[in-house]
Amino acid sequence: MSVGGPCKLLLLVEDDAWTRFALAGLVRRRGWEILTSSTVEEGIALLDRDPDCVVLDLSLPDGSGEAVLRTIREQGRRCRVAIYSAVTDEGRLGRIEALKPDAVFTKPADVDALLAFCCQ
């Protein structure tokens, strides 16, 4: 796996079924493989598949997506991470920024920009 260049595998960690379905469809139409998860636990487990890019919601039913980002950084995984969340709390976003996501998109965001980021 390499950072940059065309995406081969994208992991989408998002608990909203409609958003997950819509984004997964857009990604698949562009010829990418996609893994989806609706929980922190499953998202962390899917990191073993070595995604090229992770699109991560912060508010998940079993905790914060921050735990997924922290795991990615602690394990030294070489994947791009885009936060895609409705969270606007400055304190929480400050903690997220400390983990150095590659980009932060606030919902609702321009989906084309989000997908372009994943494969820049």
- Asked if residue 81 lies in contact with residue 101, where contact means CB atoms within 8 angstroms, the answer is yes
Structural domain contains residue 79: yes
Is 44 a domain residue? yes
- How many other C-beta atoms can be found within 10 angstroms of the C-beta atom of residue 54? 29
Query: Is there a domain that residue 1 lies in?
Result: no
CA atoms of 59 and 80, how far apart (whole Å): 19
Q: Domain count for the chain, please give it.
A: 1
Of residues 94 and 71, more confidently modeled: 71
For residue 32, give the CATH number of its domain: 3.40.50.2300
Residue 2 lies in a domain: no
Looking at the domain assignment, is residue 77 inside a domain?
A: yes
Rounded Cα distance, 56 and 34, in Å: 13
Mind listing the pLDDT tens digit for each residue in 35-57?
A: 999 999 999 999 999 999 999 99
pLDDT band, very low/low/confident/very high, at 119 (cuts 50, 70, 90)? low
Contact of 10 with 32, CB cutoff 8 Å: yes
Share of the chain above pLDDT 90, in %: 47
Could you list the residue range(s) of the whole structural domain that residue 95 is in? 9-118
Q: What is the pTM of this model?
A: 0.86
